[in-house]
Amino acid sequence: MANETTHRFIAVEGPIGVGKTSLARRLCVSLAAQGVLEEAAQNPFLERFYRNPRAGALPTQLYFLLQRAQQLAALKQHDLFAPVRVADYLLEKDRLFARVTLDDAEYALYEQLYARLDIQIPKPDLVVYLQAPVDVLLERIARRGVDYEQYIDRGYLERLNEAYARFFHEYEGAPLLIVNAASIDPIANQRDYDELLVAIRRMSRGRLYYNPLRSRAI
């Protein structure tokens, strides 16, 4: 289509359970893109964190920070012949989670390490932010059936959702597509996915609120 935009680096973001990794994987297939996925299941501290947030927060967060920093550093080394890439996170999300999960002393330590890493962050040319209320997130977490995720606390998800809303309210780092993910299922519903893919391909600048129910009613 003539009005499609060529994206080289798309980041899909949103809180736990909203479907960002599943959407990122589908986009990789549609766009013949390389996936940049955080592979949360590889974090050996994550189950400890969900069972006992105070005991597991710091090692969980530091593991994710080092994992993401390593991934993004590798991307910068291969930028010359880079394919299209789709990530299921922004590095800025790491600090968002850290501020929600860590106490003040732990966060100060985290910030010292973050500064010393001097991470050169590739800039996405589109961010897709998936929004959904906590009840929807809890239902989707229960449906996918990962054992240790069943310990996730509702209050934690509420704080996380609020932090995401504040972050993206002020975000100006790239064109931003804000998706009402509560009303669609782009993983199981082909029509939902196809319509969202069209919106992603057309998005070129600014910010757009994508509410499919409203658009279908017009």
Question: Which tens digit of pLDDT belongs to each residue from 35-44?
Answer: 999 888 899 9
Q: DSSP 3-state assignment of 178? A: strand
CB distance 110 to 62 below 8 Å? yes
Q: DSSP 3-state assignment of 204? A: coil
pLDDT over 90 percentage in the chain: 68
- pLDDT tens for each residue of 43-93: 999 999 999 988 899 999 999 999 998 888 777 655 645 678 999 999 899
DSSP letter for 92, please. H
* Backbone dihedral angles phi then psi of residue 76, each to the nearest 5 degrees: -60, -35
Range 154-173 average pLDDT: 94
CB distance 119 to 69 below 8 Å? yes
Number of H helices, E strands in the chain: 9, 6
CB atoms within 10 A of CB 86: 27
Structure tokens at 127: 């961010």
**DSSP letters for 2-48:** TT----SEEEEE-STTS-HHHHHHHHHHHTT-EEE---GGG-TTHHH
* Domains annotated on the chain, with CATH: 9-217 (3.40.50.300)
Q: What is the pTM of this model?
A: 0.90
CB distance 147 to 31 below 8 Å? no
Question: How many angstroms from the chain centroid is the CA of residue 40?
Answer: 12
For 125-134, 176-185, 205-214, which range has the lowest pLDDT when averaged over its residues? 205-214
CB distance 13 to 130 below 8 Å? yes
